[in-house]
Structure 1
Protein backbone atom coordinates (compact mmCIF):
# COMPACT_ATOMS: atom_id res chain seq x y z
CA UNK A 1 0.00 0.00 0.00
CA UNK A 2 2.83 2.42 0.87
CA UNK A 3 4.59 2.22 -2.47
CA UNK A 4 1.69 3.30 -4.75
CA UNK A 5 0.61 5.93 -2.20
CA UNK A 6 4.08 7.46 -2.13
CA UNK A 7 4.31 7.43 -5.92
CA UNK A 8 0.98 9.27 -6.21
CA UNK A 9 2.08 11.76 -3.54
CA UNK A 10 5.38 12.68 -5.18
CA UNK A 11 3.75 12.97 -8.61
CA UNK A 12 1.10 15.34 -7.24
CA UNK A 13 3.73 17.49 -5.54
CA UNK A 14 5.84 17.78 -8.66
CA UNK A 15 3.39 19.59 -10.87
CA UNK A 16 4.25 22.55 -13.05
CA UNK A 17 2.35 25.03 -10.84
CA UNK A 18 3.95 23.95 -7.55
CA UNK A 19 7.40 23.86 -9.14
CA UNK A 20 7.01 27.35 -10.57
CA UNK A 21 5.68 28.72 -7.27
CA UNK A 22 8.56 27.30 -5.25
CA UNK A 23 11.11 28.54 -7.75
CA UNK A 24 9.61 32.03 -7.74
CA UNK A 25 9.43 32.23 -3.95
CA UNK A 26 13.02 31.03 -3.37
CA UNK A 27 14.27 33.85 -5.60
CA UNK A 28 12.12 36.53 -3.98
CA UNK A 29 13.17 38.98 -1.28
CA UNK A 30 10.48 37.46 0.95
CA UNK A 31 12.46 34.22 1.18
CA UNK A 32 15.39 36.12 2.71
CA UNK A 33 13.69 35.94 6.10
CA UNK A 34 14.14 32.16 6.11
CA UNK A 35 17.91 32.13 5.63
CA UNK A 36 19.02 32.38 9.27
CA UNK A 37 16.55 29.73 10.42
CA UNK A 38 17.51 27.47 7.53
CA UNK A 39 21.21 27.76 8.40
CA UNK A 40 20.45 26.94 12.04
CA UNK A 41 18.19 23.96 11.32
CA UNK A 42 20.71 22.41 8.93
CA UNK A 43 23.72 23.31 11.07
CA UNK A 44 25.51 25.08 8.23
CA UNK A 45 29.00 26.34 9.03
CA UNK A 46 28.74 30.08 8.48
CA UNK A 47 32.49 30.57 8.97
CA UNK A 48 33.33 28.85 5.67
CA UNK A 49 30.89 30.89 3.55
CA UNK A 50 32.58 33.46 1.30
CA UNK A 51 29.99 36.17 2.06
CA UNK A 52 28.31 37.31 5.23
CA UNK A 53 25.07 35.40 5.75
CA UNK A 54 23.12 38.66 5.99
CA UNK A 55 24.29 39.74 2.52
CA UNK A 56 22.21 37.15 0.64
CA UNK A 57 19.14 38.65 -1.01
CA UNK A 58 17.14 35.43 -1.31
CA UNK A 59 17.04 31.82 -0.18
CA UNK A 60 18.17 30.79 -3.66
CA UNK A 61 21.27 32.97 -3.32
CA UNK A 62 22.04 31.21 -0.05
CA UNK A 63 21.46 27.75 -1.54
CA UNK A 64 24.01 28.51 -4.24
CA UNK A 65 26.54 30.17 -1.93
CA UNK A 66 30.26 30.05 -2.62
CA UNK A 67 32.81 29.11 0.02
CA UNK A 68 36.03 30.80 1.04
CA UNK A 69 39.02 29.88 -1.11
CA UNK A 70 40.62 27.74 1.59
CA UNK A 71 37.41 26.02 2.76
CA UNK A 72 37.99 22.97 0.53
CA UNK A 73 41.40 21.53 -0.33
CA UNK A 74 41.69 19.67 -3.64
CA UNK A 75 43.71 16.44 -3.44
CA UNK A 76 46.91 17.07 -5.39
CA UNK A 77 47.77 13.49 -6.39
CA UNK A 78 47.78 13.52 -10.21
CA UNK A 79 46.10 10.10 -10.31
CA UNK A 80 43.40 10.81 -7.76
CA UNK A 81 39.72 11.46 -8.48
CA UNK A 82 38.38 14.24 -6.25
CA UNK A 83 34.85 14.43 -4.96
CA UNK A 84 32.91 16.88 -7.15
CA UNK A 85 30.49 17.78 -4.33
CA UNK A 86 29.83 17.90 -0.64
CA UNK A 87 27.44 15.03 -0.02
CA UNK A 88 27.03 11.36 0.85
CA UNK A 89 28.59 8.51 -1.11
CA UNK A 90 25.44 6.39 -1.31
CA UNK A 91 26.55 3.57 -3.60
CA UNK A 92 29.33 2.23 -5.82
CA UNK A 93 29.38 -0.72 -8.18
CA UNK A 94 29.60 -2.18 -11.66
CA UNK A 95 27.90 -1.14 -14.88
CA UNK A 96 26.70 -4.49 -16.18
CA UNK A 97 26.48 -5.89 -19.71
CA UNK A 98 22.72 -5.22 -19.69
CA UNK A 99 23.54 -1.48 -19.69
CA UNK A 100 22.29 -1.16 -16.12
CA UNK A 101 23.47 -0.09 -12.70
CA UNK A 102 21.89 -1.51 -9.54
CA UNK A 103 21.52 1.10 -6.79
CA UNK A 104 20.05 0.04 -3.44
CA UNK A 105 18.55 -3.03 -5.09
CA UNK A 106 16.90 -1.12 -7.97
CA UNK A 107 18.06 -1.30 -11.59
CA UNK A 108 18.56 1.82 -13.68
CA UNK A 109 19.21 1.89 -17.42
CA UNK A 110 22.31 3.87 -18.33
CA UNK A 111 21.07 3.94 -21.92
CA UNK A 112 18.03 5.81 -20.66
CA UNK A 113 20.20 7.91 -18.33
CA UNK A 114 22.68 9.00 -21.03
CA UNK A 115 20.30 8.95 -23.98
CA UNK A 116 23.00 7.93 -26.43
CA UNK A 117 24.16 4.39 -27.22
CA UNK A 118 27.60 5.55 -28.37
CA UNK A 119 28.19 7.05 -24.93
CA UNK A 120 26.83 3.95 -23.21
CA UNK A 121 29.34 1.71 -24.98
CA UNK A 122 32.17 3.64 -23.35
CA UNK A 123 31.01 2.70 -19.87
CA UNK A 124 29.91 -0.94 -20.22
CA UNK A 125 31.62 -3.09 -17.56
CA UNK A 126 32.90 0.09 -15.95
CA UNK A 127 32.08 1.55 -12.53
CA UNK A 128 29.42 3.90 -11.19
CA UNK A 129 29.23 6.07 -8.09
CA UNK A 130 26.18 7.83 -6.61
CA UNK A 131 26.67 11.00 -4.57
CA UNK A 132 23.62 12.47 -2.80
CA UNK A 133 23.34 16.13 -1.74
CA UNK A 134 20.88 17.01 1.00
CA UNK A 135 19.50 20.54 1.52
CA UNK A 136 22.23 21.09 4.13
CA UNK A 137 25.12 20.60 1.71
CA UNK A 138 27.12 23.10 -0.31
CA UNK A 139 25.48 23.01 -3.77
CA UNK A 140 28.29 23.84 -6.19
CA UNK A 141 29.81 21.16 -8.40
CA UNK A 142 33.53 20.85 -9.15
CA UNK A 143 35.47 18.83 -11.70
CA UNK A 144 36.61 15.46 -10.25
CA UNK A 145 39.46 15.14 -12.78
CA UNK A 146 41.34 17.29 -15.26
CA UNK A 147 40.31 16.68 -18.85
CA UNK A 148 38.67 17.72 -22.09
CA UNK A 149 34.90 18.12 -22.23
CA UNK A 150 33.69 16.00 -25.16
CA UNK A 151 29.93 16.27 -24.64
CA UNK A 152 27.31 18.34 -22.83
CA UNK A 153 23.59 17.63 -23.02
CA UNK A 154 20.32 17.99 -21.13
CA UNK A 155 17.71 15.22 -20.92
CA UNK A 156 14.40 14.73 -19.12
CA UNK A 157 11.72 17.18 -18.04
CA UNK A 158 10.20 16.39 -14.63
CA UNK A 159 12.06 15.46 -11.47
CA UNK A 160 10.97 13.35 -8.53
CA UNK A 161 12.66 13.08 -5.12
CA UNK A 162 16.17 11.64 -5.01
CA UNK A 163 16.27 11.24 -1.22
CA UNK A 164 16.06 7.76 0.33
CA UNK A 165 12.26 7.60 0.11
CA UNK A 166 12.24 8.87 -3.44
CA UNK A 167 14.90 6.38 -4.49
CA UNK A 168 12.98 3.57 -2.81
CA UNK A 169 9.52 4.32 -4.15
CA UNK A 170 10.07 6.49 -7.22
CA UNK A 171 10.24 5.21 -10.80
CA UNK A 172 13.78 5.20 -12.23
CA UNK A 173 14.59 8.61 -10.74
CA UNK A 174 18.29 8.50 -11.63
CA UNK A 175 17.66 7.65 -15.28
CA UNK A 176 14.42 9.58 -15.92
CA UNK A 177 14.66 12.77 -13.86
CA UNK A 178 15.82 15.97 -15.53
CA UNK A 179 19.59 15.63 -15.88
CA UNK A 180 22.49 17.66 -17.14
CA UNK A 181 25.34 15.48 -18.45
CA UNK A 182 28.99 16.37 -18.89
CA UNK A 183 31.36 13.82 -20.41
CA UNK A 184 35.10 14.27 -19.93
CA UNK A 185 38.08 12.62 -21.59
CA UNK A 186 40.88 12.39 -19.02
CA UNK A 187 44.40 10.94 -18.98
CA UNK A 188 43.40 7.26 -19.08
CA UNK A 189 39.83 7.18 -20.36
CA UNK A 190 36.39 8.76 -20.14
CA UNK A 191 33.94 9.59 -17.40
CA UNK A 192 30.40 10.98 -17.31
CA UNK A 193 29.25 13.45 -14.66
CA UNK A 194 25.46 13.10 -14.55
CA UNK A 195 23.84 15.88 -12.54
CA UNK A 196 20.32 14.74 -11.60
CA UNK A 197 17.54 17.20 -10.79
CA UNK A 198 15.55 16.88 -7.58
CA UNK A 199 11.87 17.34 -6.80
CA UNK A 200 10.29 20.72 -7.64
CA UNK A 201 13.22 22.52 -9.26
CA UNK A 202 15.30 21.41 -12.23
CA UNK A 203 17.80 24.23 -12.01
CA UNK A 204 21.27 22.89 -12.79
CA UNK A 205 23.36 25.81 -13.96
CA UNK A 206 26.65 25.46 -15.83
CA UNK A 207 28.95 28.25 -14.60
CA UNK A 208 31.97 27.43 -16.77
CA UNK A 209 31.61 26.14 -20.33
CA UNK A 210 35.34 25.82 -21.00
CA UNK A 211 36.46 22.99 -23.25
CA UNK A 212 39.05 21.93 -20.66
CA UNK A 213 38.45 21.45 -16.93
CA UNK A 214 41.04 21.46 -14.16
CA UNK A 215 40.57 19.12 -11.21
CA UNK A 216 38.68 20.95 -8.48
CA UNK A 217 37.45 23.70 -10.79
CA UNK A 218 33.87 24.80 -10.16
CA UNK A 219 31.76 24.37 -13.28
CA UNK A 220 28.11 24.07 -12.18
CA UNK A 221 25.64 24.30 -9.31
CA UNK A 222 22.32 22.89 -8.13
CA UNK A 223 19.60 25.28 -6.97
CA UNK A 224 18.44 22.64 -4.46
CA UNK A 225 19.87 19.40 -3.08
CA UNK A 226 20.15 16.62 -5.62
CA UNK A 227 22.38 13.79 -6.86
CA UNK A 228 25.47 13.32 -8.99
CA UNK A 229 26.12 9.99 -10.72
CA UNK A 230 29.68 9.36 -11.90
CA UNK A 231 30.27 6.76 -14.61
CA UNK A 232 33.79 5.46 -15.32
CA UNK A 233 35.09 3.59 -18.34
CA UNK A 234 36.10 -0.07 -17.85
CA UNK A 235 39.39 -0.60 -15.96
CA UNK A 236 40.01 3.13 -15.46
CA UNK A 237 38.90 3.68 -11.86
CA UNK A 238 39.71 2.20 -8.45
CA UNK A 239 37.72 3.21 -5.37
CA UNK A 240 39.76 4.49 -2.44
CA UNK A 241 40.09 1.77 0.20
CA UNK A 242 39.26 4.28 2.91
CA UNK A 243 35.77 4.99 1.50
CA UNK A 244 33.02 3.13 3.38
CA UNK A 245 29.50 3.18 1.93
CA UNK A 246 27.65 5.27 2.89
CA UNK A 247 30.05 8.00 3.95
CA UNK A 248 30.12 11.79 4.11
CA UNK A 249 32.45 13.39 1.58
CA UNK A 250 33.50 16.92 0.72
CA UNK A 251 34.63 18.67 -2.41
CA UNK A 252 38.24 17.87 -3.26
CA UNK A 253 38.58 14.77 -1.07
CA UNK A 254 40.11 11.74 -2.74
CA UNK A 255 37.42 9.21 -3.67
CA UNK A 256 39.63 6.96 -5.80
CA UNK A 257 42.23 6.75 -8.53
CA UNK A 258 42.27 6.65 -12.29
CA UNK A 259 44.39 3.83 -13.63
CA UNK A 260 45.57 2.30 -16.90
CA UNK A 261 44.11 -1.03 -18.07
Structure 2
Protein backbone atom coordinates (compact mmCIF):
# COMPACT_ATOMS: atom_id res chain seq x y z
CA UNK A 1 0.00 0.00 0.00
CA UNK A 2 2.87 2.37 0.73
CA UNK A 3 4.22 1.79 -2.79
CA UNK A 4 0.81 2.43 -4.33
CA UNK A 5 0.40 5.66 -2.37
CA UNK A 6 3.91 6.77 -3.33
CA UNK A 7 3.25 6.12 -7.03
CA UNK A 8 -0.06 7.98 -6.80
CA UNK A 9 1.69 10.94 -5.14
CA UNK A 10 4.32 10.96 -7.91
CA UNK A 11 1.55 11.00 -10.55
CA UNK A 12 -0.16 13.87 -8.73
CA UNK A 13 3.10 15.86 -8.64
CA UNK A 14 3.81 15.14 -12.32
CA UNK A 15 0.33 16.30 -13.30
CA UNK A 16 0.58 19.47 -11.21
CA UNK A 17 4.04 20.41 -12.52
CA UNK A 18 3.17 19.82 -16.19
CA UNK A 19 -0.45 20.96 -16.34
CA UNK A 20 -1.45 23.17 -13.40
CA UNK A 21 0.93 25.83 -14.64
CA UNK A 22 0.51 28.69 -17.16
CA UNK A 23 0.81 26.27 -20.10
CA UNK A 24 0.57 28.72 -22.97
CA UNK A 25 2.91 31.24 -21.37
CA UNK A 26 5.51 28.51 -20.81
CA UNK A 27 5.05 27.31 -24.38
CA UNK A 28 5.58 30.83 -25.77
CA UNK A 29 8.67 31.19 -23.57
CA UNK A 30 10.13 27.90 -24.78
CA UNK A 31 9.48 28.91 -28.38
CA UNK A 32 11.43 32.14 -27.81
CA UNK A 33 14.21 30.55 -25.76
CA UNK A 34 14.83 27.66 -28.16
CA UNK A 35 15.36 30.08 -31.06
CA UNK A 36 18.16 32.06 -29.36
CA UNK A 37 21.24 31.59 -31.54
CA UNK A 38 24.13 31.01 -29.19
CA UNK A 39 26.30 27.88 -29.48
CA UNK A 40 27.37 28.23 -25.84
CA UNK A 41 23.78 28.50 -24.59
CA UNK A 42 22.76 25.61 -26.87
CA UNK A 43 25.51 23.36 -25.46
CA UNK A 44 24.55 24.23 -21.87
CA UNK A 45 20.85 23.63 -22.58
CA UNK A 46 21.54 20.29 -24.27
CA UNK A 47 23.74 19.20 -21.35
CA UNK A 48 20.92 20.02 -18.92
CA UNK A 49 18.37 18.30 -21.17
CA UNK A 50 20.45 15.12 -21.07
CA UNK A 51 20.22 15.03 -17.29
CA UNK A 52 16.47 14.40 -17.52
CA UNK A 53 16.06 12.37 -20.73
CA UNK A 54 17.75 9.65 -22.74
CA UNK A 55 18.74 12.10 -25.49
CA UNK A 56 21.02 10.34 -27.99
CA UNK A 57 22.56 12.46 -30.74
CA UNK A 58 24.74 9.68 -32.18
CA UNK A 59 22.22 9.14 -35.02
CA UNK A 60 22.04 12.83 -35.91
CA UNK A 61 24.01 14.50 -38.65
CA UNK A 62 27.15 15.74 -36.91
CA UNK A 63 27.02 19.47 -36.41
CA UNK A 64 27.52 22.28 -33.92
CA UNK A 65 24.05 23.41 -32.91
CA UNK A 66 23.54 27.16 -32.97
CA UNK A 67 20.32 26.95 -30.93
CA UNK A 68 18.25 24.51 -28.93
CA UNK A 69 15.70 24.60 -31.77
CA UNK A 70 18.28 23.19 -34.18
CA UNK A 71 18.82 20.25 -31.84
CA UNK A 72 15.07 19.65 -31.35
CA UNK A 73 14.50 19.53 -35.11
CA UNK A 74 17.72 17.72 -36.02
CA UNK A 75 18.05 15.63 -39.16
CA UNK A 76 19.51 12.13 -39.01
CA UNK A 77 22.43 10.58 -40.86
CA UNK A 78 21.40 8.96 -44.17
CA UNK A 79 20.13 5.41 -43.72
CA UNK A 80 19.27 5.71 -40.02
CA UNK A 81 15.54 5.18 -40.68
CA UNK A 82 15.10 2.62 -43.48
CA UNK A 83 11.54 2.60 -44.81
CA UNK A 84 9.78 -0.72 -45.28
CA UNK A 85 9.69 -1.35 -49.05
CA UNK A 86 6.61 -3.61 -48.91
CA UNK A 87 3.85 -1.79 -50.80
CA UNK A 88 1.23 -3.64 -48.72
CA UNK A 89 2.52 -2.00 -45.55
CA UNK A 90 2.03 1.51 -44.21
CA UNK A 91 5.23 2.88 -42.65
CA UNK A 92 5.29 4.66 -39.32
CA UNK A 93 5.38 8.41 -40.01
CA UNK A 94 7.58 9.06 -36.98
CA UNK A 95 9.43 7.61 -34.05
CA UNK A 96 7.09 7.12 -31.13
CA UNK A 97 5.68 5.04 -28.32
CA UNK A 98 2.42 3.39 -29.33
CA UNK A 99 -0.44 4.44 -27.07
CA UNK A 100 -4.09 3.59 -27.52
CA UNK A 101 -4.68 1.83 -30.84
CA UNK A 102 -6.94 -0.65 -32.57
CA UNK A 103 -10.42 -0.62 -34.10
CA UNK A 104 -12.47 2.54 -34.41
CA UNK A 105 -15.89 1.67 -32.98
CA UNK A 106 -18.21 3.53 -35.28
CA UNK A 107 -16.48 6.89 -35.00
CA UNK A 108 -15.35 6.49 -31.38
CA UNK A 109 -11.77 5.94 -30.24
CA UNK A 110 -9.98 6.05 -26.88
CA UNK A 111 -7.09 8.11 -25.54
CA UNK A 112 -6.95 5.85 -22.44
CA UNK A 113 -9.21 3.31 -20.77
CA UNK A 114 -12.55 4.94 -20.03
CA UNK A 115 -11.70 8.15 -21.91
CA UNK A 116 -13.37 8.08 -25.34
CA UNK A 117 -13.57 10.78 -27.96
CA UNK A 118 -15.03 10.90 -31.45
CA UNK A 119 -13.26 11.36 -34.76
CA UNK A 120 -15.39 14.43 -35.41
CA UNK A 121 -14.25 16.02 -32.14
CA UNK A 122 -10.63 15.29 -33.06
CA UNK A 123 -10.72 16.39 -36.69
CA UNK A 124 -13.09 19.33 -36.31
CA UNK A 125 -16.50 20.26 -37.71
CA UNK A 126 -15.31 20.83 -41.29
CA UNK A 127 -14.03 17.30 -41.78
CA UNK A 128 -15.95 14.33 -43.19
CA UNK A 129 -14.72 11.46 -40.99
CA UNK A 130 -17.05 8.81 -42.41
CA UNK A 131 -14.18 7.23 -44.38
CA UNK A 132 -12.54 6.22 -41.10
CA UNK A 133 -15.65 4.87 -39.36
CA UNK A 134 -14.99 1.27 -38.24
CA UNK A 135 -11.41 1.62 -39.39
CA UNK A 136 -8.22 1.59 -37.32
CA UNK A 137 -6.39 4.21 -35.28
CA UNK A 138 -2.87 4.33 -33.86
CA UNK A 139 -1.58 6.88 -31.34
CA UNK A 140 2.16 7.62 -31.48
CA UNK A 141 3.64 9.65 -28.61
CA UNK A 142 6.96 11.36 -29.27
CA UNK A 143 9.06 12.04 -26.18
CA UNK A 144 11.20 15.16 -26.02
CA UNK A 145 14.39 13.20 -26.72
CA UNK A 146 13.11 11.47 -29.86
CA UNK A 147 13.65 12.32 -33.51
CA UNK A 148 10.98 14.97 -34.14
CA UNK A 149 10.50 14.86 -37.90
CA UNK A 150 7.60 13.04 -39.50
CA UNK A 151 7.25 11.51 -42.94
CA UNK A 152 4.77 10.24 -45.51
CA UNK A 153 3.62 6.72 -44.54
CA UNK A 154 3.21 5.66 -48.18
CA UNK A 155 3.22 7.02 -51.72
CA UNK A 156 0.30 9.41 -51.52
CA UNK A 157 -1.06 12.84 -52.33
CA UNK A 158 -1.49 15.36 -49.53
CA UNK A 159 -4.90 16.81 -50.35
CA UNK A 160 -5.87 19.02 -47.42
CA UNK A 161 -4.53 20.52 -44.20
CA UNK A 162 -6.86 21.72 -41.43
CA UNK A 163 -5.47 23.74 -38.51
CA UNK A 164 -7.33 23.69 -35.17
CA UNK A 165 -6.08 26.07 -32.49
CA UNK A 166 -6.37 24.97 -28.88
CA UNK A 167 -4.71 24.41 -25.53
CA UNK A 168 -1.31 22.88 -24.70
CA UNK A 169 -2.00 20.14 -22.15
CA UNK A 170 0.79 17.66 -21.58
CA UNK A 171 0.08 14.48 -23.57
CA UNK A 172 1.88 12.00 -21.30
CA UNK A 173 0.02 8.91 -20.00
CA UNK A 174 -0.69 10.55 -16.64
CA UNK A 175 -2.57 13.44 -18.26
CA UNK A 176 -4.35 11.12 -20.70
CA UNK A 177 -5.86 9.27 -17.73
CA UNK A 178 -7.12 12.49 -16.13
CA UNK A 179 -8.16 14.98 -18.82
CA UNK A 180 -11.15 13.95 -20.91
CA UNK A 181 -10.88 14.42 -24.68
CA UNK A 182 -7.40 15.86 -24.25
CA UNK A 183 -6.36 15.46 -27.90
CA UNK A 184 -9.54 17.28 -28.92
CA UNK A 185 -8.65 20.22 -26.65
CA UNK A 186 -5.05 20.73 -27.78
CA UNK A 187 -3.76 22.57 -30.81
CA UNK A 188 -3.56 20.19 -33.76
CA UNK A 189 -3.60 19.80 -37.51
CA UNK A 190 -5.35 17.27 -39.73
CA UNK A 191 -3.39 16.13 -42.78
CA UNK A 192 -5.56 14.25 -45.30
CA UNK A 193 -3.70 12.01 -47.74
CA UNK A 194 -4.87 9.69 -50.53
CA UNK A 195 -2.84 6.59 -51.31
CA UNK A 196 -1.19 6.38 -54.72
CA UNK A 197 -1.14 3.65 -57.37
CA UNK A 198 1.78 1.83 -55.72
CA UNK A 199 -0.58 0.84 -52.88
CA UNK A 200 -2.18 -1.68 -55.25
CA UNK A 201 -5.71 -2.64 -54.15
CA UNK A 202 -5.57 0.12 -51.52
CA UNK A 203 -4.87 2.85 -54.09
CA UNK A 204 -7.22 5.79 -53.64
CA UNK A 205 -7.96 5.07 -49.99
CA UNK A 206 -7.69 7.98 -47.52
CA UNK A 207 -5.24 8.18 -44.62
CA UNK A 208 -5.17 10.96 -42.05
CA UNK A 209 -2.31 12.08 -39.83
CA UNK A 210 -3.29 14.27 -36.87
CA UNK A 211 -0.23 15.88 -35.23
CA UNK A 212 -1.25 17.14 -31.76
CA UNK A 213 0.77 19.81 -29.97
CA UNK A 214 1.49 19.85 -26.24
CA UNK A 215 3.01 22.01 -23.52
CA UNK A 216 6.32 23.52 -24.70
CA UNK A 217 5.56 22.41 -28.28
CA UNK A 218 2.60 24.15 -29.98
CA UNK A 219 4.51 24.58 -33.22
CA UNK A 220 4.36 22.42 -36.30
CA UNK A 221 6.41 23.00 -39.45
CA UNK A 222 5.17 21.66 -42.78
CA UNK A 223 7.37 21.75 -45.88
CA UNK A 224 4.66 21.46 -48.53
CA UNK A 225 2.48 23.41 -48.25
CA UNK A 226 4.94 25.84 -46.68
CA UNK A 227 3.29 26.41 -43.29
CA UNK A 228 4.39 27.01 -39.71
CA UNK A 229 1.38 26.34 -37.50
CA UNK A 230 1.53 27.71 -33.95
CA UNK A 231 -0.54 29.45 -31.27
CA UNK A 232 -0.15 32.87 -32.96
CA UNK A 233 -0.80 31.61 -36.48
CA UNK A 234 -2.99 34.08 -38.41
CA UNK A 235 -3.34 32.26 -41.73
CA UNK A 236 -6.23 30.21 -43.15
CA UNK A 237 -7.45 27.25 -41.12
CA UNK A 238 -8.37 25.26 -44.23
CA UNK A 239 -5.61 24.73 -46.79
CA UNK A 240 -6.54 22.69 -49.87
CA UNK A 241 -3.45 21.29 -51.58
CA UNK A 242 -2.29 18.76 -54.15
CA UNK A 243 1.17 17.63 -53.10
CA UNK A 244 2.47 14.24 -54.29
CA UNK A 245 4.53 12.42 -51.65
CA UNK A 246 6.74 9.37 -51.85
CA UNK A 247 6.88 6.82 -49.06
CA UNK A 248 9.25 8.08 -46.36
CA UNK A 249 9.42 11.64 -47.72
CA UNK A 250 9.73 14.22 -44.96
CA UNK A 251 6.50 16.13 -44.31
CA UNK A 252 7.70 18.39 -41.51
CA UNK A 253 8.60 18.44 -37.84
CA UNK A 254 7.47 19.18 -34.32
CA UNK A 255 9.52 21.75 -32.46
CA UNK A 256 9.78 19.63 -29.31
CA UNK A 257 7.82 16.37 -29.02
CA UNK A 258 4.18 15.42 -28.99
CA UNK A 259 1.72 12.99 -30.58
CA UNK A 260 0.61 11.85 -34.02
CA UNK A 261 -2.70 10.01 -34.39
CA UNK A 262 -2.92 7.88 -37.54
CA UNK A 263 -6.43 7.24 -38.90
CA UNK A 264 -7.01 4.39 -41.37
CA UNK A 265 -10.10 3.22 -43.26
CA UNK A 266 -11.80 -0.17 -42.79
CA UNK A 267 -9.85 -3.16 -44.05
CA UNK A 268 -6.53 -2.04 -42.57
CA UNK A 269 -4.91 -3.93 -39.69
CA UNK A 270 -2.08 -3.21 -37.26
CA UNK A 271 1.26 -4.68 -38.33
CA UNK A 272 2.53 -7.62 -36.26
CA UNK A 273 4.17 -6.45 -33.04
CA UNK A 274 2.47 -3.05 -33.00
CA UNK A 275 0.58 -2.50 -29.75
CA UNK A 276 0.36 -0.27 -26.67
CA UNK A 277 3.72 0.47 -25.07
CA UNK A 278 5.78 -0.63 -28.09
CA UNK A 279 8.40 1.83 -29.36
CA UNK A 280 8.46 2.18 -33.14
CA UNK A 281 10.81 4.01 -35.43
CA UNK A 282 9.98 6.10 -38.43
CA UNK A 283 9.83 3.90 -41.52
CA UNK A 284 9.08 0.57 -39.88
CA UNK A 285 5.85 -1.30 -40.64
CA UNK A 286 2.92 0.20 -38.77
CA UNK A 287 -0.17 -1.23 -40.50
CA UNK A 288 -1.18 -3.59 -43.28
CA UNK A 289 -3.28 -2.21 -46.11
CA UNK A 290 -6.34 -4.07 -47.46
CA UNK A 291 -5.48 -6.87 -49.87
CA UNK A 292 -8.67 -6.22 -51.84
CA UNK A 293 -11.36 -3.55 -52.17
CA UNK A 294 -15.00 -4.32 -51.48
TM-score, length of structure 2 as denominator length: 0.80
Question: What residue number does 1:219 align with?
Answer: 251
Would you say the 8 A contact 2:42–2:65 is kept in 1?
no
Would you say the 8 A contact 1:6–1:169 is kept in 2?
no
Write the mapping of 1:134-213 to structure 2, written as runs, cut at 5 A.
134-186=143-195, 187=199, 188=202, 189-209=205-225, 211-213=243-245
2:53 aligned with 1:42: yes
Would you say the 8 A contact 1:143–1:215 is kept in 2?
yes
Aligned partner of residue 17 in structure 1, secondary structure = helix
Question: What residue number does 2:130 align with?
Answer: 121
**Root-mean-square deviation over aligned CA pairs:** 2.4
Question: What residue number does 2:83 align with?
Answer: 74
Distance across 2 between alignment mates of 1:118 and 1:22: 31
The one of 261, 277, 282 equivalent to 1:246 is 277
Question: What residue number does 2:5 align with?
Answer: none
Distance across 2 between alignment mates of 1:59 and 1:93: 36
Stretches of structure 2 lacking an aligned partner (at least 5 in a row): 1-7, 226-241
TM-score, length of structure 1 as denominator length: 0.89
Q: Which runs of 4+ in 1 moved over 6 A?
A: 1-9
The total of aligned residue pairs comes to 257
Distance across 2 between alignment mates of 1:9 and 1:48: 31
**1:14/1:225 CA distance change after superposition, 3 Å:** farther
Question: What residue number does 1:100 align with?
Answer: 108
Question: What residue number does 1:86 align with?
Answer: 95
Distance across 2 between alignment mates of 1:22 and 1:31: 13
Distance across 1 between alignment mates of 2:174 and 2:183: 13
Q: 1:200-235: CA deviations, max 9, x gaps?
A: 331011023361111111111011110000001112
**1:15/1:244 CA distance change after superposition, 3 Å:** closer
